[in-house]
Amino acid sequence: MKTADLTKLRKKMEKNLEPNRYEHTLSVAYTAANLAAVHGEDVQKALVAGVLHDCAKSLSHKKQIALCDKYHVHLSPMEAAENSPLLHAKTGSILAREEYGIEDEDILNAISYHTTGRPQMSVLEKIIYIADYIEPGRRHMKRFGDGAPMERLAQIRQMAYRDLDETLLNILSDTLDYLQSKGSKIDPMTRTTYEYYK
Ligand code: DGI
Ligand code: FE
Ligand code: FE
């Protein structure tokens, strides 16, 4: 992937996303690039995966379901539900392949699993999952709830540059606590990922 290609991807994302979501996208990309540098992963791949990870976020539910039908992507009932926070990860990966021309399976998987994680994640998958959580714009942590201590986020940010697996486990554990406290439905994959890394 050349620099010019990345510029093209960025421009396309800027056109397709809300301004705030685009900001988030860039923050995830640069955070992921730094994590890649520290942990010996390909920086360019991290940038591309970061820029694209939420590329399906602005699509309507109907369009996302149609995309999955068209490309024969299987969805669990929870993924397919309206307002599912998980659907855009699956459809993002389809769009990245079909519309943004990404062929690298590791990048596509990093997009697919950026919300729930999965067992045996690649280094790139972990980096995108973590960068999405710690990017500098995450101040009002959706996942932390109101009593959200910013010190906790600071702690997780430091951890991310030392140990990816430990960071992953901490984020998964906080996310499960948060979802449970809100009474949200937990996707089996979120729990499976947690059990695996525990
Ligand atoms: O797309 P983003 O907002 O940048 O971040 P994301 O794709 O990681 O989505 C984050 C949301 O997904 C966050 O509010 C937590 C939620 N989430 C993650 N796993 C589960 C989940 N929500 C439910 N209901 N169940 C899950 O298992
Ligand atoms: Fe997302
Ligand atoms: Fe995101």
Tens digits of pLDDT across the chain (198 residues): 666 689 999 999 999 999 999 999 999 999 999 999 999 999 999 999 999 999 999 999 999 999 999 999 999 888 999 989 999 999 999 999 999 999 999 999 999 999 999 999 999 999 999 999 999 998 755 555 555 567 889 999 999 999 999 999 999 999 999 899 889 999 999 999 999 999
| CA 88 to ligand 3 center in whole angstroms | 10
For residue 183, count CB atoms less than 10 angstroms from its CB and return exposed for 0-12, middle for 13-18, buried for 19 or more: exposed
| CA 123 to ligand 2 center in whole angstroms | 18
Smallest Cα–Cα separation from 52: which of 106, 1, 105, 95? 95
HSE value, Cβ hemisphere, 13 Å, CA-based, for 58: 14
Ligand 1, atom 10, residue with closest C-alpha: 115
